[in-house]
Structures are given as C-alpha cells and as structure tokens.
Amino acid sequence: MPELPEVETVRRTLAPVLAGATVVAALRGAHPDDILLDPWPVFAQRIRRRRIETLERRGKYLALCLDSADRLLIHLGMTGELRLSHPAAPAGAHCHLALVLRAEGQLPPALVDRRGRFLLRYHDVRRFGRIGLLDPVGWAALSARLGPEPLDPALTAAELWEHLHVRRSPVKAALLDQTLIAGIGNIYADEALFQAGIHPARRCQSLTLADVERLLTALRTVLTEAIASAGTTIRDYRDGTGRAGSYQFRLQVYGKEPGTPCPRCGAALARIRIAGRSSTFCPQCQPLLD
C-alpha cells in the first residue's frame, strides 16, 4: 500500500510532465464509479479545459492543483497506479479512468501523439483508491482532519509528545492514525519503531519526551531514505513512470518472517498483531517497558 514516500515519489515523477498540461477530456474506463467521489458527468464537466498548475502531497493524498482553484484529489488505496501513456497505447483491464492531456512543453515522442496529446491513466486492481475534485474549502477541511507532516521541519518532538502521551493505545496504532501524524503506514511504522528501539505495543502514555525525540528522528530518517530510494515496491507500487522503488532492499524488519535474526543484535524477530495489522519487531532491541 502506498505510503508517504511512494506518493511523494509519484508526485515528483509526474510533476515535470503534468505541470502546465491542460485537460482536454476525461475518459471512462472499466469501473470509474467505484473510484470517483463525484458522479461521472459532474467530474467530466468540471475537469474539462482545466490547466494543471502544480502537484501537492498531503499525507498519502496526491493533489493536482487546477487553474480553477479546484484540486483533483487522488488516494491510491491499496493498488492504485497513475500511468502516463501514449493515446494509442492499450489501456489494460483495470484502467478505470483517464485524462486526455495536452502538453505545455516538449515531451518524449514516445508519450505524445502528433497533436501533443497524452494520457494520465488510473489503474487499480482492487479498487480501494479514490479520486475526486475538491474546492479550496473541501481541501482545507480534509487537510485539517490530518495530523502534521512528519517531514515538516516545523513539527517538534514536544508537539508530537503532547498528542501521544494522552493516549492509551499502542504506539504502533497511533502512528497508523492519520489524524495524529499523516502519511505513515505499516511499513514505515515498523521500520521507524525498530530504529527508535520502541516496542510497537508500548502504550503511548508511557512514552517520554526522549522516546518521542528518537521516534521522530527515526521516522524522518526512514521516510527520507525511502523517498531517496523511490519508495518500497512489495508487489504493485510503481512511480509515475512505471518504475519500481528499491527501499524493499533496505527494510530491516518489515515483512521479515518471525525467527529471522535481527539485523542489529541477531535475536529472533517476532510478529504480533496491533490494530488489525501485523507488526514485526525485535524483542531484544525493542523491549516492552510498561
């Protein structure tokens, strides 16, 4: 499932092509109504002739900012994928909608037709992704429901600790809560907790400020390195140009079988379920203190 580094990678790979492009039309694919938040005619009409100005990311959401002040909001769900393609390239069975775009500058001849047109296709095998148009009020409301961005330098450990130490939930569950901190999913929560030496089941209220300082530093290190590796590809995730990420080769604990030696101390890794998700950790490096 795409988390902050994967969505940020998609944003970075699509931005040079999409910024400045104009939407000529929206095309219906296999099951657009499973993905779209708006009825098709409303969506198709509202996005037509709009120019894409910039691409933003908030948590796990990607937003294409339009000249109408609307944002085209995209959440990739489990298996969503945005693909740039030539208008004549075959769509595939799981393409649910596409935008026909006209490029602003020169794009590779393999991507555009003779009229400078190309497609942005949305593929999604499991259809948990969502796409919709939000006006500035809707975007502000969505953004206000999300916690701070972990990579925002303005976020301090003291602020994060204020929100964490009043909770009774396990710290792993809190990290997955998008209203507490935005963009973290199972992969980067497990990796950051390992790096910080914090047991995933540890109660938030037992965390000291020093623990949260280590945790925030670990989150930032893991997320920054994952972005530099273009994300983690376990199965489906690809960047905006169809390439897989490479952070899966650097994972320390996520996805490892229980009993695998800890990369730091050699003890057997363990796996437990928290908030319905599996958590892999080292009982030696991440002791349960409370």
Q: Which residues contact Zn ion (rule: CB under 5 A)?
A: 262, 264-265, 267, 282, 284-285
Query: Of these residues, 46, 148, 277, 283, which one is catalytic?
Result: 277
- Residue with the two structure tokens 């489906």: 236
Query: Of these residues, 57, 60, 83, 256, which one is catalytic?
Result: 60
Q: Among residues 280, 230, 192, which one has the least CA distance to residue 10?
A: 230
**How would DSSP label each residue in 155-224?**
--HHHHHHHHTT--SBHHHHHH-TTTSSS--HHHHHHHHHHHT--TT-BGGG--HHHHHHHHHHHHHHHH
The burial class, CB within 10 Å (0-12 / 13-18 / 19+), for 41 is exposed
Residue 46 annotated to the active site? no
Token pair recorded at residue 182: 């935005």
Residue 127 annotated to the active site? no
Shortest spacing between CB 184 and Zn ion, in angstroms: 22
Residue 3 annotated to the active site? yes
User: Is 100 strand, coil or helix?
Assistant: strand
Cβ nearer to Zn ion, comparing 85 with 279 = 279
Q: Judge whether 132 and 141 are in contact, CB under 8 Å.
A: no
Cβ nearer to Zn ion, comparing 141 with 265 = 265
Shortest spacing between CB 286 and Zn ion, in angstroms: 7
Shortest spacing between CB 271 and Zn ion, in angstroms: 14
- Tell me the C-alpha distance between 246 and 221, whole Å: 16
Shortest spacing between CB 199 and Zn ion, in angstroms: 12
Shortest spacing between CB 281 and Zn ion, in angstroms: 9
Cβ nearer to Zn ion, comparing 51 with 264 = 264
Query: Of these residues, 3, 6, 8, 191, which one is catalytic?
Result: 3
Q: Judge whether 100 and 29 are in contact, CB under 8 Å.
A: no
Cβ nearer to Zn ion, comparing 64 with 269 = 269
Give the residue closest to Zn ion by C-beta. Answer: 262
Residue 264 annotated to the active site? no
Contacts of residue 179, Cβ cutoff 8 Å, sequence gap at least 6: 145, 146, 147
Token pair recorded at residue 285: 């490096």
Q: Judge whether 50 and 71 are in contact, CB under 8 Å.
A: no
Shortest spacing between CB 260 and Zn ion, in angstroms: 11
Cβ nearer to Zn ion, comparing 85 with 286 = 286
- Bridge pairing between strands 80-85 and 117-124: antiparallel
Q: Where are the alpha helices (DSSP H) in the chain?
A: 4-18, 32-35, 40-47, 136-145, 157-164, 171-176, 186-196, 209-228
- Residue with the two structure tokens 């290190």: 221
Residue positions annotated with a catalytic role? 2-3, 60, 277
